[in-house]
Structure 1
């Protein structure tokens, strides 16, 4: 299962006045993609990792960024080496 890929999506709630700083910090993280945002401070973020523990560590890291109020896991998918869902 070494070739498995974990894909997770999160909703990140940030302080609206710090939204640009939060986005800049998120862009510095490996395997993090920003997909949608609202002026109210909500961001849709997608993570990719080889191990589930990496997803959990990244969520904790995001929660600890200045200006982030909460990062909530919305979806988690595990793909095998052939790209099929498990």
Structure 2
């Protein structure tokens, strides 16, 4: 499964201090049980690097996850379905820009 490989690679990548904002960002569609939406929202927001951008009464939430101090976004992503009220989470967008890539880009 691609997510497992992504998680393993990101966990193996050392985070030296706080991650740069926007360095590694994941866009995720989360489905929560509508009856437990309040608990699901609170559990999501308690995770490092998580923001909720949109939500619907039927339990769909649009979420972004960024690297946080010492916690790769991939690790946070892998924990989403363990949270109370969360039925599924689908990675729909991922962007990672390393310092090396930034230096290679023409100005």
Say how many residue pairs are matched.
83
1:57-79: CA deviation from partner (whole Å, max 9, x where unpaired): 21221110011000110000012
TM-score (norm 2): 0.66
Once superposed, which parts of structure 1, at least 4 consecutive aligned residues long, lie more than 4 Å away?
none
Higher relative contact order (CA 8 A, sep 6+): 1
Alignment RMSD, CA only? 2.8
Structure 2, gaps ≥5 residues long: 1-15
More helix by share: 2
More strand by share: 1
Structure 1, gaps ≥5 residues long: none
Rg comparison, structure with higher value: 2
TM-score (norm 1): 0.80
